[in-house]
Structure formats: C-alpha cells, structure tokens
Amino acid sequence: MGATWLDGDNRPTINGPTGLAALEFLGNLLGRYAPPKVSEFGWEEASAVFREGKAAMYIEGSSIYPLIEHSRTSRLMGKVGYAIFPAGPGGPGTTIAVRGLAIAGQSAHPKAAWLFLQWASSQEMVRRALIKGVLVARESAWRDRSLYDGEIPEDLAQSFLEAGRTGTPDWAPPLVAVTAARVAVGKAITAAIRGEDIRAAADAAAGRLTEILITTEGMGTRSSWARP
C-alpha cells in the first residue's frame, strides 16, 4: 500500500490509513482463499501445502525454491512458475531480505575477519555459489547465464533480478528488538485473517511498537508518544 513501518517522527503507522488498508486486504485475501487455520501456519506448514499440490499459489521468499524444485517430498518439481511479488496501489511490493556478513565489535581478530569477508563475498566466490544453485546478491554474477543455466529456472532468475532493482529492504520493522516487533505485527495480521476487529488489533500493535521504541530505541517519553 506504499506505507513505511514508521512515519517521519518515528511513530508506528500500522494503525494509520495505509496500515489498516494493508491489514484489511491481507485479511480478506487469506481469510477467503487460504487453507483453513492459515493463521496458525509457519513457513514449514505453508510450504508443505504448496509442495503437496494443495494450493495454486504461494507467496514466499526466493530462498524456498530448493524445497520446491529439489526436495524428494515435492510433487511440483519442474511444474512451478515464478514471478515477482505483485505491485499494489503504493508501488512495488517486493522486499529484499539479503543475509549479510558482519564483524562483531568484540572480535579478537577484526583484520582477519575483514579479509575473510572480502574473500567470502568476492566475485569469484559468488560465482561459485551461483553455480551450486545459491541465489546470490551480486547482479554481475547473474549476467553470465552459463553459471546457472539448467540449474535455476529462468523465470525465477529474472524475477529475482527485477526484485533486486525495485525491492525495499524494509521487510521487518526497523527496530533493535525486531523479534518483539514482529510478534506485535503478527498479532494484528492474525486478527485480520480471523475476521476480528482490525482497528482494535492495529491500535494494540501500534501501542506495543511504541513501547518497544521507547524501551529499546530511547524515543521520547510516553506522554509525547500518545496518539490523538
């Protein structure tokens, strides 16, 4: 819907107009067309339903594709088409959740760690990973189709590249306590799927996110965060 997790004043937007519209849309989509009890699913349950041929479509991160194309339990090997996440009223809907490498502040050998990071993320190592079917982040590696031809579906490769150009990295609330924030948002999504009061669930989520921001981010005082 084009919203961000936080507004310009770092206030949660989940109970704003676009946040409510997103929850209503998702709740309607999954409430009507998803398998029963989908609000209780994790990615394991959701992917299993799709791999068993019991769902026509499945929205997931691209890292799930080996379970679809190479798992012995999948009935869909070679039968699945891949496409970029559809755009919405606010523009592209794709998110980018690339796993990165970092050096801990407490590292006893930061220089050695830095050299390792350079080696592990080098063009040569990324090319070798792509040959093995790993969906890498370097666009330069993807330009050589011989590295993945026959190993990775062409439509998956193209949608992956397009997502890298248009996607947003804001796949989760940008808070230090991201796990707690995801739980808060998840409760609102679950309420929407179950047909419960979306406004009340969104207000509760916004309140919880505000508490997290105050506690872990030091964002103002409780009085200054009160919504009108």
Q: What is the pTM of this model?
A: 0.80
142 phi, psi to nearest 5 deg: -70, -20
Superfamily of domain 17-95+172-225: Periplasmic binding protein-like II (3.40.190.10)
Look at residue 165 in the predicted model and tell me its pLDDT.
87
Look at residue 220 in the predicted model and tell me its pLDDT.
55
Look at residue 135 in the predicted model and tell me its pLDDT.
87
Look at residue 33 in the predicted model and tell me its pLDDT.
92
Look at residue 224 in the predicted model and tell me its pLDDT.
43
From the number of C-beta atoms within 10 Å of its C-beta (0-12, 13-18, 19+), residue 121 rates as middle
pLDDT tens profile 99-147? 788 999 999 999 999 999 999 999 999 999 999 888 888 888 888 889 8
Q: Distance between CA 188 and CA 202 in Å, rounded? A: 6
Query: Which stretches of the chain are DSSP H helices?
Result: 17-33, 43-51, 65-69, 110-120, 123-131, 139-142, 154-166, 178-193, 198-212
Residues with Cβ within 8 Å of 80's Cβ and at least 6 positions away in sequence, in order, are 68, 69, 153
Residues with Cβ within 8 Å of 45's Cβ and at least 6 positions away in sequence, in order, are none
pLDDT, the chain, mean:
88
CATH 3.40.190.10 domain span(s) along the chain: 17-95+172-225
Whole-angstrom CA distances from 58 to 33, 87, 135, 158 are: 11, 16, 19, 18
| Residues of the chain falling short of pLDDT 70 | 220-228
